[in-house]
Structures are given as structure tokens and as C-alpha cells.
Amino acid sequence: MFFVSSVTLVCTSAFLCFYYFAISARRHPLPPGPKPRFFSGNVHQLPRSEAWKVFAEWSETFKSPMVFYRIFGRNVLVLNTLKAANDLLEARSNTYSDRPMAWMYKELVNRKMAVFNISSQHPRFKVYRRLLHAGLNPRAVRNYYEILDDERRILLRNLRSKPDDFMAHLRRVAGGIILKVTYGWAVVDQEDRFVSLMEQSFAMSVEIMKPGRWFVDVFPFLRFIPSWFPGAGFKRQAAVWREQMSELDRKPYAWAKAQLESGDYVPSFTSQHLSPEDGHTLSSDEEDIIKWCSAALYAGGADTTVSALASFILLMSLYPDAQRHAQAEIDEAVGKNRLPTWVDEESLPYVSSVVKEVLRFSPVARLGLPHRVLSEDVYHGYRIPRGSTVVANIWAITHDPGLYPDPITFNPSRFLSTPGKPPQPDPRKIVFGFGRRVCPGAHFAEVSLFLNIASILATFDISKAVDDQGREVDPVVEYTNGVTSHPLPFPCMIVPRPGASSLVLDQL
């Protein structure tokens, strides 16, 4: 009798606590933001370009670390400070690690099972993370050093022979590294079919994921309209994109599997997981998981690398003093007869700071990837409705003068410790995401970027282009608006360093 009464009391107390929280949460106001219209919300106020800057300005206008807006029935919360991002996406990651539903992209184009899109509540989520961690942790990355070394030498050789085509060379090295690591595929030329396939998929993703483009994302019932119905062109287009996007997952994976079965293959992430240590026969579900994880490496590791390296080239042309400082450090610590290696990273603190400052100044994913709130929450006295999309404004955080004084100046020295002046926060803890959605390939990306950036600094001088009259041409610093931001095309000069690393250049 006493036991029953105790259980009843506990259950009643729990219910009352939940009820009180639910009621009190609804009494809290929504976070501040621009005033919405009754039906469409803030659609008319959404920026068409550089949204990261507009959201940061909204935070200043409303004097809040976060701003709230609505697109028809979808609520969006933008976090513009590191504290807000850590408080919600890190400390409350159980609640904030899901992904919002994008009906066009996830359902109609069938990308809902992709690693970066899958719900945190899906059983595969933890399996994906475990497989990717196994293939990308620091110990595993050591197995890729030879690949990274081979590919950076090809990059340097290409930059030496055709410096004006530097963007094509950057795409080639990014694709070459990730395809070799993921599938064992060797890229032999600029027109490589898998690199081209990857580039096409990136372009399609940007087109599909344009904010506010598809009514089906606002009114999900539209997905049930037959494809032949008038006005259902979006469904016919989705079917085309669905087939094209699936090639990104199927074709490289099928090639790698066929190579493994033939016995003539290069060890890779895919071959490793298709050959389990216990020798058991993989189920179709296990193979599907490996296929999606391989595609995540393939898609997530290439475009981001191109963006960071392109920003590095642009920034070196604009900040020659930083470039000369890094080159002098390499000459002193490494010498001129070999390329820097990852072992040299500790003895090249300024070069490492250049990598950090590139990531801070020009974060690859300026608004990160969106999160979704699983249950109603309250933060700083504001109500965050269940199902809201939450975006970390990474650009605003890395340009917060409270964290990074004089944020619009490229200054690698900000990460060096000097007497009485500690280094500023490491941006790598920001730019790779938060909580359970942090990028699993962060360490691999750091190693790859360091090796390529240090090698380019050791062997080349980068400067502004000159016109026909010998006058310097100032490049325009503008970025694209996709999930991954790239600098718009810009001219520059890349020439071998006189007297520096001559032996290395001759050996390329």
C-alpha cells in the first residue's frame, strides 16, 4: 500500500512539474527579431546575399545574442554569439542535435539518409558517427599521410606549370585526396569523371536548397500531388535530381566494391569497412550504411577544402606581410631542401596560425548546418518552440570583436601567446560545428590544410595580379551564398620563390 502511494506521488509530481514547465514556457516571449507578417512571416525581409552579415546586424539592432524569424509556419532561431551556441548546441545537445525537414531535398530528392541530413533520432545516426570516427580519428589519419604527400606534390607541380588555373588545381587536389582516401580512386587529370560528378552534385545541392524556393517545404501536403498534375513541375524536377544525386553515392562505391572483389584494389575507407575483421558477410543494411558514410567523406571533404584553400590564396595576395612572416618561419625551421610535414607543425606556430586565421576570417560554412529543437525550451527568458530550426552564425562568432579584437583584419599573430597577452580562442573549435553534429573529419581537414598551405608557402610567392600597365589589381573580396561559401573568381600571381626550396621545385 505504501509502495503504491509512493509511486502515485512520484508520478503525480512528475506530471505536475512537466505541466508547470509547459505552461510557464508558453508564458515566455519569443526571442527578439524583425516583426513578421501574419501569413508569410519574415519572408520579405530575408537577405538574398550575405545572410550571415544581416543576421549579425539584427543581433545588434535587437541587442540580443540570438534573433528569431518565421518563414510561413517555420520558426528559425539564429545564434550570433559563441556563448549562445555553446549553451544550446553543446550543453543541451540532446535537445538540439536533430536536423530540420526539408521536404524537397530530403524526401523528394531522397537525401534524408545522408550522413549530414539524417535525424539524430534515427538508429543509424550513432552507427554513422562510429564508422566515420573509426576512419577519421588521428590514428587512422596517419595512414593517409602518403596520399596527402603525393597529392600536394601534384598540386605544386600544377601551380608551377599553369599558375593562372589555380582554382582548377585546388579542385583537383581536393578531389584527388578525398577520392583516394574514400575509394582508392586515383585522379589522373582535371576532367576526372568522379571529380566532375562531385562538382555537379554540389551545383545541384545549391540549387535545390535555396531558402524559400519550394512551396512544398512550406506546405508539405503538396508532396502528395501526382507528377502529371498541373503545377507539379517541382515533382518532375525532383525525380530528375533524385536520379542524378544518387549517382554520387552509387557509382564510386560500386567501383570500389568491384575492385575489392577483383583483388586488385588500393586500401581505402570503403575497402576497409567492406572487409570486416571478423570475416562475416555484410548484410544489405550494413552495405548501405558504408555507402552513405563513404559518400559523406566524398561530398563533405572536397568542397570545404577547395573553399579554404581558395580563401588562403586570396588572403595571401592581400596580406603580403603575413605571407613573408610564414615563409621566413618555414625557411628557418624546415630549411629549403624539403617540404614541411605534419611532424613540423609544432615548430611552425605562425604557419599553424595562418591556417587558423584563414578559417576564422573566411569560415567555410558561414551559417553552419541547421539544427532542430526536439522539445520546447527556454533560454535567457525566451521561449524556443519545439521544431524550430536553429542556426549557428559561425561568421558572426568568428567576427565578434569581444572574441577577436579588430576582426576584419587578417592577423595570424592573434593566436600566438605573448607575455601578458594570451592567444585568442582557437577558431577550429567553432568552424567545424557544435555538439553531436561536429564534423567527424575535423582532424583530417586540419592535417590536409596545414600540409597544402605550408607547402605552397614554402615554394611560391602569391601577390596581386597586375594590369597591362603594370598596376596592381585589387581583388574583390566577395563570397558565394551556398552552404559552403567560396570566394568569387579573383585574379592573382603565383610564382616560384626565388632561391627558396629550389631543390624541392626541381624534384616535383
Over the stretch 393-441, which tens digit does the pLDDT of each residue have?
999 999 999 999 999 999 999 999 888 789 999 999 999 999 999 999 9
Over the stretch 50-66, which tens digit does the pLDDT of each residue have?
999 999 999 999 999 99
- Give the span between the Cα atoms of 220 and 34, in whole angstroms: 25
Distance of CA 503 to the CA centre of its chain: 36
- Can you identify the CATH homologous superfamily of domain 31-507? Cytochrome P450 (1.10.630.10)
Higher pLDDT, 363 or 209: 363
Average pLDDT taken over every residue of the chain: 90
Which pLDDT belongs to residue 170? Answer: 95
Q: Sorting pLDDT into bands at 50, 70 and 90, what band is 21?
A: very low
- The contacts of residue 194 (CB under 8 Å, 6+ apart) are 175, 179, 183, 185, 187, 251, 252
Which pLDDT belongs to residue 505? Answer: 67
Q: Is the pLDDT of residue 128 over 50?
A: yes
Q: Is the pLDDT of residue 6 over 80?
A: no
Question: Any idea where the domains of the chain sit in the sequence?
Answer: 31-507
- Cβ neighbours of 408 (radius 10 Å): 9
Which pLDDT belongs to residue 279? Answer: 74
Q: Report CA torsion sign: 176, 178, 181, 183.
A: negative
Residue linked to cell 587578417 = 410
Which pLDDT belongs to residue 10? Answer: 39
Q: At what angle do helices 166-183 and 284-318 cross, to 10 degrees?
A: 150
Residue 439 in marked binding region: yes
Q: Sorting pLDDT into bands at 50, 70 and 90, what band is 507?
A: low
Over the stretch 248-277, which tens digit does the pLDDT of each residue have?
889 999 999 999 999 888 899 999 999 887
Which pLDDT belongs to residue 24? Answer: 44
Determine contact, residues 46/58, Cβ cutoff 8 Å: no
Determine contact, residues 153/456, Cβ cutoff 8 Å: no
Exposure of 391 in the CB half-sphere (CA atoms within 13 A): 20
Over the stretch 341-352, which tens digit does the pLDDT of each residue have?
999 999 999 999
Q: Sorting pLDDT into bands at 50, 70 and 90, what band is 2?
A: very low
Q: At what angle do helices 442-459 and 349-361 cross, to 10 degrees?
A: 110
Q: Would you state the cell numbers that stand for residue 235, as one nine-digit string?
A: 515533382
Q: Is the pLDDT of residue 119 over 50?
A: yes
Q: Sorting pLDDT into bands at 50, 70 and 90, what band is 501?
A: low
CA distances to 77, 79, 413, 414, 485 from 368, in Å: 13, 11, 26, 24, 10
Q: Sorting pLDDT into bands at 50, 70 and 90, what band is 370?
A: very high
Which pLDDT belongs to residue 8? Answer: 47
Over the stretch 144-164, which tens digit does the pLDDT of each residue have?
999 999 999 999 999 999 999
User: What number is the average pLDDT over the span 170-189?
Assistant: 91
Which pLDDT belongs to residue 69? Answer: 96
Q: Sorting pLDDT into bands at 50, 70 and 90, what band is 285?
A: very high
- Give the span between the Cα atoms of 222 and 212, in whole angstroms: 15
Over the stretch 235-246, which tens digit does the pLDDT of each residue have?
999 999 999 999
Over the stretch 303-340, which tens digit does the pLDDT of each residue have?
899 999 999 999 999 999 999 999 999 999 999 889 99
378: enclosing H helix or E strand: strand 377-379
Which pLDDT belongs to residue 317? Answer: 97
